[in-house]
Structure 1
Amino acid sequence: MKKQVLEFISNLENERRRSDSEALVDLIEEESGYEPYIHGSMIGYGRYHYKYESGREGDFFVTGFSPRKQHLAVYIMPGFSSYETMLENLGKHKVGKSCLYINKLADIDLTVLRKLVKASVKDMQKKYQCASA
């Protein structure tokens, strides 16, 4: 699976996005404990099954990222309400509901990103039965 991820990244046109993505592959694998895999245009780590009160259910990754043209999107699935202090110390970024948008890794503190990924994975593991892909 990791070989496919690295092939996917090698096809990125932007050299900085490619090198940042290569670094993120290893960083997130180390902190999550899951091997990376391709999930559409995203790179996922681990899997969990969700079911909403509406009855909608499915499977998704525990954490992951997408090397988009404008920025890197790192998926912090529990959202950010529990991680405000980490975000304050992260560096230049923006957030969506569960997406952390980073222009380039040089803009942020990688030690803080490691802690954020690790904490979010632990929170997901407390709430869901998480497994490797």
Structure 2
Amino acid sequence: MTKTAPGDDSVDAYLAAVTDQRRRDDARLVVRLFREVTGTEPVMWGSMVGFGRHRYQTADGRSHETFAVGLAARRQALTIYGVTYDGSNSDLLARLGPHSTGKGCLYMKRVDAVDTEVLRELVARGWHANPSVDADDCSPR
């Protein structure tokens, strides 16, 4: 069973429920940036805000679906998904400002401490690297 799937929960309600004011404001700013870059509206995928739908197949031949790019307003940091994998985008990450990375995740404590134009480019690269499909006809965009 898929743990993370698109749902009907409200992105606005999710953002409003973020208790830390700075994290809430940062998350709202980044959602606007994602909207501008992707040209799509956000959808809640469990506790994450996702943009687009990305289908992929794992080494064992199983098919999966997730969002193409997304974010979560976690307690410790704003977490960005879909913009860095296996050392990708190191040129942009070097210019971004204070951050850390995990396996496929970018963590930022404060958006005002990073270069948002570099973040915008990271999101654009992630959006293009993780081709999104239309939910109705599953054709690549």
TM over 0.5: yes
Q: Could you tell me whether the CA contact under 8 Å between 2:37 and 2:124 is conserved in 1?
A: yes
Q: Could you tell me whether the CA contact under 8 Å between 1:49 and 1:60 is conserved in 2?
A: yes
Choose which of 11, 18, 27 in structure 2 pairs with 1:12: 18
In the other structure, the counterpart of 1:131 is 134
Q: 1:98 to 1:43 in 2, by over 3 A?
A: same
Q: Report percent identity of matched pairs.
A: 32
Amino acid corresponding to residue 40 of structure 1 in structure 2:
G
Q: Could you tell me whether the CA contact under 8 Å between 1:35 and 1:132 is conserved in 2?
A: no
C-alpha distance after superposition, 1:19-42 (max 9, x if no partner): 111111110111122210111010
Q: Could you tell me whether the CA contact under 8 Å between 1:78 and 1:123 is conserved in 2?
A: no
Q: Secondary structure at the match of 2:119?
A: helix
- Higher relative CO (Cα under 8 Å, sequence separation at least 6) belongs to 1
Choose which of 43, 56, 59 in structure 2 pairs with 1:37: 43
In the other structure, the counterpart of 2:4 is none
TM-score, scaled relative to structure 1: 0.88
Q: Secondary structure at the match of 2:87?
A: coil
In the other structure, the counterpart of 1:72 is 78
Task: Give me the whole-angstrom Cα distance separating, in 1, the residues matched to 2:35 and 2:84.
Answer: 18
Computed over aligned residues only, the root mean square deviation of the Cα atoms, in angstroms, reads 2.1
In structure 1, the gaps of 5 or more residues are: none
Task: Give me the whole-angstrom Cα distance separating, in 1, the residues matched to 2:107 and 2:29.
Answer: 16
In the other structure, the counterpart of 2:114 is 108
In structure 2, the gaps of 5 or more residues are: 1-6, 137-141
Amino acid corresponding to residue 87 of structure 1 in structure 2:
L
TM-score, scaled relative to structure 2: 0.84
Q: Secondary structure at the match of 2:130?
A: helix
Report runs of 4+ in structure 1 exceeding 2 Å deviation: 129-133
Corresponding position: 1:47 with 2:53: yes
Amino acid corresponding to residue 108 of structure 2 in structure 1:
I
Normalized per residue, the structure richer in helix is 1
In the other structure, the counterpart of 1:96 is 102
Question: Alpha-carbon deviation of 1:123?
Answer: 1.6
Amino acid corresponding to residue 131 of structure 1 in structure 2:
D
In the other structure, the counterpart of 2:139 is none
In the other structure, the counterpart of 1:62 is 68
In the other structure, the counterpart of 1:21 is 27
